[in-house]
Amino acid sequence: MNENKINQVVSQWVRLGAMFNISASKQGVDVERLLLGTARCAATNSRLLILAVTWLAKYGEYVVKHRLVHLISHELEKEHRATMGLILDLAREKGSNNSYRFNRAINACERAADARPLLDVDRRNHFFIRMAEKNASALSLKWGRWTEDFELKNDAIRPARWIVEHNPAMRWRGDYKGDLRASIMAELANRDSVSSESEFARLCGATRPAVVEALRQLELSGRVERRRDGNRLTVRQAVSDAV
């Protein structure tokens, strides 16, 4: 993968509190799309894999569950789905509060047909390949992307207070813990407005009645504005912590 793209992914993790020797992204972070980017370039950097898993094990409740499933199914290339499955499965196994959080997203992934070492450095010759398979963890063998087991590096992840101070959107992510309201907020964070409940239902993979109720709750809390002009509905985010 292009080095600039790898650095973009790493800089976004720095913005979210992971400690790498690189400057933090100046832009707000789309957490679910960052996970897709991480799956695409995890083979280049073992520290990226370890810190991404550590962050997810610690702060997985910030992830919008249904949106992640949708993005894996519709945007993540099949060649990277095994790596995504491994990352999420490791976070589920190692995290204390994420036993079920990633189940649907994990089910949307699929084991690699071409089982091999995950890291580029372990694919340099036949000896390294054999050693990678010999030392691979059970989960990495399951997904067909071999890598050794590791301990979480909690001392390399900043506390929640720091993360929220530098990423205001983490407030609503923490409040809604990945439910449909979080899916709606995440979609509004990436566009000026959405024009119908049906469009939200399509984007979020939910029923229209469920979307209507979620929008009502968000409007009551002052986080979205709904305006009707005849039959046309416009929904916008209403507060600064939506970015």
Q: In this structure, what CATH number is given to the domain that contains residue 202?
A: 1.10.10.10
Which of 223, 160, 185 is CA-nearest to residue 67? 185
Full residue range of the structural domain in which residue 219 is found: 168-242
* Better-predicted residue by pLDDT, 243 or 137: 137
Q: What is the DSSP string of 183-217?
A: HHHHHHTTSS-B--HHHHHHHHT--HHHHHHHHHH
Q: For residues 122 and 236, state if they share a domain.
A: no
Which of 227, 226, 186 is CA-nearest to residue 205? 186
174 inside domain: yes
Boundary residue ending a domain (156, 176, 210): 156
pLDDT digits (tens, 9 = 90+) for 170-225: 999 999 988 999 999 998 988 878 888 888 888 888 899 999 999 999 999 999 99
CA distance 58 to 62: 10
99: pLDDT strictly greater than 70: no
Q: For residues 128 and 216, state if they share a domain.
A: no
pTM metric for this prediction: 0.92
Percent pLDDT > 70 in the chain is: 97
Q: For residues 106 and 7, state if they share a domain.
A: yes
Boundary residue ending a domain (100, 126, 156): 156
Question: What is the number of structural domains in the chain?
Answer: 2
Tokens 């499933």 found at: 69
239: pLDDT strictly greater than 90: no
Q: For residues 186 and 224, state if they share a domain.
A: yes
pLDDT digits (tens, 9 = 90+) for 17-35: 999 999 999 999 999 999 9
Q: For residues 63 and 12, state if they share a domain.
A: yes
